[in-house]
Amino acid sequence: MLLYALRRLIYLVPVAFGVSLLVFGLVHLAPGDPISAIVPPDAPKEVIDKLKEYYGFDKPLPVQYLRWLGVTLTGDFGTSIGTGRPVASEVASAFGNTIILAIAATTLAFTLAVILGTAAAYAKSRIVDRLVTLISLVGVSVPHFWLAIVLVIIFAVELGALPPMGMGPENSTGWRFDRAHLAHMVLPTIALSVIPLGVVTRTVRSTIKETLSMEFVTALQAKGMNDSQILRHVLKNAAPTCLAVMGLQAGNLIGGSILIETVFAWPGTGFLLNSAIFRRDLPILQGTTLVLAGFFMLLNLTVDVIQTMVDPRIKRG
Amino acid sequence: MSDLLQVRDLHVTFKTPDRTVHAVNGVSFDLKRGETLGILGESGSGKSVTLRSILRLHPEHRTRWSGSIRMEGDEVLDMGSRALGDLRGRRVAMIFQEPATAFDPVFTVGHQIAETIRRHTGKSESDAWKRAKELLELVRIPSPAQRLKAYPFEMSGGMRQRAMIALALSCNPSLLLADEPTTALDATVQIQVLLLIRELQREFDLGVIFVTHDIGVAVEVSDRIGVMYAGKIVELAPVEKMVDAPQHPYSRGLLASTVHDGMRGQRLEAIPGAPPDLAEVPTGCSFAPRCKFVRPDCTTAPPNLRATGDSHLVRCVLAETAVAA
């Protein structure tokens, strides 16, 4: 098992290389010039050239890529063109903020999804099943930024019960586990959890339903096992499929939702990417995308390893 | 010898919103300890449904049972879920057609045998595993200690079925239900498994109900054979009588449709037509539409089961004349 995990980790190296190439390439394919975004339109040509030289944009692209790759590998992501602060610290703090929200939203969504999906799969009455199917359908179809705005209108504007935006009180310097910060999390967490809730509920329901129709469930009954003992078997069989979908959904949340973070002014990666795109802040764009891609790869690896632990028939690569 | 199992006028219907299926329509038989009853029939004849009803394995909310199933005097159809749980796997055990799907794929074989033992005996984990190892030895699986740690997919079909038998015998049941346990196996492995079942049956004085569509297998293992058609037993007789002098036209057709030595060049006989749709209960004999000897009175009322000799029962109006012929 450890060997398998190690081997999978080594396979990530060429993938990571490909990702870095893609990240760099895509950013430079996009139209717009980072320098013209920060200088006034009437700036003299020599100033622009000086800035280009300072940031290294005067070099040919392959050279730029190798230089960027070289410093990135040392953990230095360069300096933000927009703020002049190091990219690494900007990305790190945004990533941390997004993770907090993502953990809260996945916990909420996955817990509810497993309960609802299992209940629907077991339900003998069609009403329960239909109701859960409806909930998951609404989850995947409702535009979550719209839901976010509606939540803000109801709970922040009309009722005044919860703060509408930001991560904490105004004088707050970073996230802490306290009442004020938690209150700020409630609305974004709910808005962020609807899509994974819908998707995962649907997967859990259909996977468990399929598992329940398998012969071994009858065989377990024939051995005299009671319902909760059988549920243990069923859940372990359904786990690999559900985990795969959960992994993808969690990955999406880690990427940060540009829309949700913008609605709630939550200083996460989505928020950061959004402003970096408008400012043509290439170092930030590259740094954030690379970190996110790396995290996504690690997340997939983790899911794969857990899957192999749960179901011995899965041994890939 | 007293009866181990008594089934009386068993009816099983499945209800779905769109249709009702009358799968079993009045089945009665007895089984003694140490006796093997073979139930023979084609797919859809209700043989598996009858077998599974003894453990009430059909989904409760869609199934209607009536009649009586008495296991050592206890009425199975009246049991609550706790009593049923104690019956299943403890007094009555079952082996399945496909051992590949009857084992949970993500737990080891040892775990699945041990959990059954622990469910019914309250033994400790390590004692249960010890017993599981003995059981694998009993069914002659080589290197049992290693095999306990294997997952079902790591075993061959024959070995899986042996492990399934070991699991079934883990709590010393008095009745073993076998649902086509050799159908999915290779011919050579089939014979080994059949011999194993017969040997264990004698050793533990088990009652066995063996459901199959394979006449050769039924003749090999059974003391008595019941032939089922459209949810009814149409003929029930000791195996020699069934082979030598089958009386029901359907049984005769079934036995004539087997291929054996000395038939080279002969025309194979097949029963024309297909089994009836079980959505409706027919007014007359359900075999009448396919029967060569059909008479007007066959279609007016369902024929009763009548005794035509010592423990030989036939459900046909022609039964006596059939003896003469």
Q: If pLDDT is split at 50, 70 and 90, which confidence band does B294 have?
A: confident
B254-268: average pLDDT:
69
Domains along chain A with CATH numbers:
93-275 (1.10.3720.10)
- For the stretch A128-182, pLDDT in tens is 889 999 999 998 898 888 999 999 999 988 998 888 888 877 766 777 778 888 8
Q: What residues of A are in contact with residue B106 (Cβ under 8 Å)?
A: 233, 236-237, 310-313
Comparing B77 with B254, which gets the higher pLDDT? B77
Output B143-149 pairs: Cβ under 8 A, ≥24 positions apart: B147/B109, B147/B110, B148/B108, B148/B109, B148/B110, B148/B113, B149/B108, B149/B110
Question: Residues with Cβ < 8 Å from B12, sequence gap 6 or more?
Answer: B22, B23, B24, B46, B49, B50, B53, B58, B63, B64, B65, B231
Interface list for B 139-158 with A (CB within 8 A): 151, 153
The answer, for B93 touching chain A at a CB cutoff of 8 Å, is yes
What is the rounded distance in angstroms from the CA atom of residue B199 to the CA atom of residue B244? 25
- For the stretch B102-131, pLDDT in tens is 999 999 999 999 999 999 998 999 999 999
Q: What is the DSSP letter of B97?
A: S
Which of A28-42, A142-156, B305-319 bottoms out in mean pLDDT, i.e. has the lowest? A28-42
Chain A's closest residue to B96, CA to CA, is: A219
Q: If pLDDT is split at 50, 70 and 90, which confidence band does B323 have?
A: very low
In percent, how much of chain B has pLDDT > 70? 94
Q: What pLDDT is recorded for position B324? A: 41
Comparing B259 with B249, which gets the higher pLDDT? B249
The answer, for A306 touching chain B at a CB cutoff of 8 Å, is no
Q: What pLDDT is recorded for position B117? A: 95
- For the stretch A223-255, pLDDT in tens is 999 999 999 999 999 999 999 999 999 988 887
Helix (H) or strand (E) holding A54: helix A45-55
The answer, for A11 touching chain B at a CB cutoff of 8 Å, is no
B43-50: average pLDDT:
90
Q: What pLDDT is recorded for position B259? A: 62
> Does A202 score more than 80 pLDDT?
yes
> Does B325 score more than 70 pLDDT?
no
Q: What is the DSSP letter of B217?
A: H
CB contact under 8 A, A223 and B55: no
How far B61 CA sits from the closest chain A CA (Å)?
8
Comparing B321 with A292, which gets the higher pLDDT? A292
Phi, psi of B94 (to 5 degrees): -135, 140
CB contact under 8 A, B87 and A224: yes
Q: If pLDDT is split at 50, 70 and 90, which confidence band does A49 have?
A: confident
Q: What pLDDT is recorded for position B90? A: 93
The answer, for B96 touching chain A at a CB cutoff of 8 Å, is yes
Helix (H) or strand (E) holding B74: strand B74-75
- For the stretch A113-122, pLDDT in tens is 999 999 999 8
The answer, for A232 touching chain B at a CB cutoff of 8 Å, is no
Compute the count of residue pairs across chains A and B with CB atoms less than 8 Å apart.
74
Q: What pLDDT is recorded for position B146? A: 93
Name residue, tokens 């498994």: B193
Q: If pLDDT is split at 50, 70 and 90, which confidence band does A43 have?
A: confident
CB contact under 8 A, A219 and B151: no
**Residue of B15, B62, B106, B112 to mutate for A, most A C-beta atoms under 10 A:** B106
